[in-house]
Structure 1
Amino acid sequence: MSNKPANLAMSRRALLRGAAVAGAAVIAGQAAAQTAIDDVINAPRRGNWDDQFDAQVSRANANVVSNTPVLSPSNVMHVQQAIANYQAIVANGGWPQVNPGVKLKLGVIDPSVQTLRQRLMISGDLPRSAGLSDSFDTYVDGAVKRFQARHGLPDDGVLGEFTLKALNVPADTRLMQLNVNLQRLQDIVSKQLEARYIMVNIPAAYVEAVENDRVALRNTAIVGRISRPSPLVSSKVSDIILNPYWTAPRSIVEKDIVPLMQKDPTYLARNSIRLIDGNGNEVAPETIDWFAPKAPNLMFRQDPGKINAMSATKINFPSPDAVYMHDTPTQGLFNKLMRFESSGCVRVQNVRDLIVWVLKYTPGWSRQQIEQVIASRVNTPIPLSDEVGVHWVYLTAWSAKDNVVQFRDDIYQLDGNVQLALDTNIGVEQVAGSISVDDDLVPQQ
Structure 2
Amino acid sequence: MRQHIYFLYMITKITNNKALLFVATIALAFITVIPGCKKSKSDLGKEMADATGNKTFKDMTNEGFAEAFKKAMTDNKSLLTYPDVIKSYYAENDYEPVLVLNHLKNEDLQTLSTYLDNSTQHGINPQIFRADSIKALLARIKDKKAVKDVNTAYTTLAKLELLTANSLIRYSNALQYGLISPRKIYQRYYTETKRPDSTSMKSVFAVKELKSYLDSIQPKSAQYKALQKALTDKVQAPGMTPEESERYFAVNLERLRWKNKPDAKKYVIVNIPDYRLDVMENGKSALNMKVCVGEGRNMDKEVSLVEYDESDKIDRPFSRETPQLGSLIHSVQVNPVWNIPKSIASKEIMVQAANDPYYLDNENIDVYHNGQKVDDPETIDWGSASKNEYEFKQRPGDGNALGKIKFLFKNGSSVYLHDTPAKNAFNQNMRAVSHGCVRVEQPQQLAEALFGNGDKYKMIVDKMNNPSSTPTDIALPNKVPVYLTYVTCWVDDSGKIQFRPDVYGLDVVLYGHMKKLLSV
Q: Counterpart of 2:352?
A: 260
Sequence identity of aligned pairs in percent? 30
SS at match of 2:366: strand
Q: Output the CA distance in 1 between the equivalents of 2:385 and 2:475.
A: 42
2:446 paired residue among 330, 342, 354 = 354
The one-letter code of the counterpart of 1:212 is N
CA deviation after TM superposition for structure 1 residue 387, in Å: 2.7
C-alpha distance 192-329 of structure 1, shift in aligned 2 (>3 A): closer
CA deviation after TM superposition for structure 1 residue 402, in Å: 5.9
Whether 1:167 and 2:238 are equivalent positions in the alignment is yes
Q: Counterpart of 1:214?
A: 284
Q: Counterpart of 2:258?
A: 187
Q: Output the CA distance in 1 between the equivalents of 2:385 and 2:456.
A: 48
Provide the aligned C-alpha RMSD in A. Answer: 2.7
Q: Output the CA distance in 2 between the equivalents of 1:337 and 1:75.
A: 33
C-alpha distance 406-291 of structure 1, shift in aligned 2 (>3 A): closer
5 Å matches for 1:8-19? Answer: none
C-alpha distance 76-263 of structure 1, shift in aligned 2 (>3 A): same
CA deviation after TM superposition for structure 1 residue 269, in Å: 1.0
The one-letter code of the counterpart of 1:80 is K
SS at match of 2:446: helix
Q: Counterpart of 1:323?
A: 415
5 Å matches for 1:202-281? Answer: 202-226=272-296, 227=318, 228-281=320-373
Q: Counterpart of 1:76?
A: 221
- Higher relative CO (CA 8 A, sep ≥ 6), structure 1 or 2? 1
Equivalent pairs, count: 270
SS at match of 1:198: strand
Q: Output the CA distance in 2 between the equivalents of 1:302 and 1:325.
A: 17
- Is 2:489–2:500's contact at 8 Å kept on the other side of the alignment? yes
C-alpha distance 184-274 of structure 1, shift in aligned 2 (>3 A): same
SS at match of 1:182: helix
CA deviation after TM superposition for structure 1 residue 357, in Å: 1.1
Q: Output the CA distance in 2 between the equivalents of 1:201 and 1:184.
A: 13
SS at match of 1:178: helix
Q: Counterpart of 2:467?
A: 376
Whether 1:388 and 2:458 are equivalent positions in the alignment is no
Q: Deviations over 1:181-219 (max 9, x none)?
A: 122123256x55222111000110110011121111101
The one-letter code of the counterpart of 2:396 is P
C-alpha distance 263-410 of structure 1, shift in aligned 2 (>3 A): closer
SS at match of 2:477: coil
Q: Output the CA distance in 2 between the equivalents of 1:181 and 1:260.
A: 42
Structure 2 runs not aligned, ≥5 long? 1-218, 297-317, 512-520
Q: Counterpart of 1:155?
A: none
Q: TM-score, normalised by structure 2?
A: 0.48
Q: Output the CA distance in 2 between the equivalents of 1:75 and 1:310.
A: 41
Q: Output the CA distance in 2 between the equivalents of 1:247 and 1:334.
A: 24
Q: Which one has the largest radius of gyration? A: 2
5 Å matches for 1:22-421? Answer: 76-88=221-233, 90=234, 167-188=238-259, 191=261, 193-226=263-296, 227=318, 228-295=320-387, 297-360=389-452, 364-366=455-457, 368-374=458-464, 375-377=466-468, 378-401=470-493, 403-416=495-508
SS at match of 2:507: coil
CA deviation after TM superposition for structure 1 residue 264, in Å: 1.7
SS at match of 1:389: strand
Q: TM-score, normalised by structure 1?
A: 0.56
CA deviation after TM superposition for structure 1 residue 296, in Å: 7.8
Relative to total residues, which structure has the larger helix share, 1 or 2? 2
Q: Deviations over 1:314-355 (max 9, x none)?
A: 111111222111111111111111111122211111121111
Q: Output the CA distance in 2 between the equivalents of 1:235 and 1:294.
A: 34
C-alpha distance 221-80 of structure 1, shift in aligned 2 (>3 A): same
C-alpha distance 238-75 of structure 1, shift in aligned 2 (>3 A): farther
Structure 1 runs not aligned, ≥5 long? 1-73, 96-165, 420-445
SS at match of 2:221: helix
